[in-house]
Amino acid sequence: MNKTVVVIFCFNVEENIHYILKTIKKTHLNKNRDFLFIDDCSSDNTNKILKSYKIKNSKIIENKVNQGFGLNYKFSISYSIKKKYQKLIFLHGDNQYPINKIILIDKKLNTSSLCYGSRKLNYKNMKKNMPLIRFVANIFLTYFINIMFNNNATEYFSGFRGLRVDKLKKLNLSQFANKWIIEQQIHFYFINKKYLISEIPIPTVYKKNQISKLPPFDYVFSVILNTLRFSIF
């Protein structure tokens, strides 16, 4: 068995998943890694496309009912532990993050417990391509989180990240949310545990079908609330 599993979340991504699948086959990213595609009850042709590529060292999970991001995240963690992987890398099927960079994240995880792609490390590109309200929220919340944790990360909100499975074994998953905020919660947990965390620069990509539908104010409130929870309480 390969030591790394790459989990790709897929929900109605028929417009973008072709590129990801072609890249995996063309660049042989699956030679040293396993891929787990989680189709979260897509209503378009996502599942049909996933099955058509027949990628070696890959598996497709078909949710009969939409589980949402948080539950799929927890399932991925449990799966990586059960299958005895050493590294777990998350990617989104909408092609918002550069799949070829999993090679660098995989390498970084040899020494880091958590590694993620930071758009802030490519600041000009981020400022140009990220919707203004999300750009401002990202900058403000990163500054706030760094103060609360006495940390110096450049970003906390990229969904492109990898984690060491041995550290995930110590998690009590029930204490984390079943929603998107689980990414930040686990990040905060890793900070509190003083695990080594690293970043790599990635481009900012926002197309029409890649912009999050989360209400901006709910997003900001949830991040602030969880920052306080994990930094103070």
Is the four-CA dihedral 21, 33, 5, 121 of positive or negative sign? negative
Count: domains in the chain: 1
* CA distances for 147 relative to 51, 197, 220, angstroms: 46, 17, 16
pTM: 0.95
Task: Please tell me the distance from the alpha carbon of residue 17 to that of residue 151, in angstroms, as a whole number.
Answer: 35
Which pLDDT value is given to residue 82?
97
Domain with 136, as residue range(s), is 4-231
Which pLDDT value is given to residue 12?
95
Which pLDDT value is given to residue 208?
67
Virtual torsion, Cα 44, 92, 80, 68, nearest 10 deg: -60
Which pLDDT value is given to residue 207?
78
The CATH number for 91's domain is: 3.90.550.10
Which pLDDT value is given to residue 115?
98
Of 69, 97, 17, 91, the C-alpha closest to 219 is 69
Beta carbons within 10 angstroms of residue 19's beta carbon: 11
Give exposure, 109-123, as e/b (b: 16+ Cβ within 10 Å).
beebbbbbbbbbebe
> Could you read off the pLDDT of 206-233 as tens digits, one per residue?
876 655 666 778 889 999 999 999 999 8
Task: Please tell me the distance from the alpha carbon of residue 28 to that of residue 193, in angstroms, as a whole number.
Answer: 35
Which pLDDT value is given to residue 212?
63
DSSP type of residue 193: T
pLDDT, averaged in runs of 10, over the chain (233 residues): 92 95 95 96 96 95 96 98 98 95 97 98 96 93 98 97 97 95 97 98 83 74 96 90
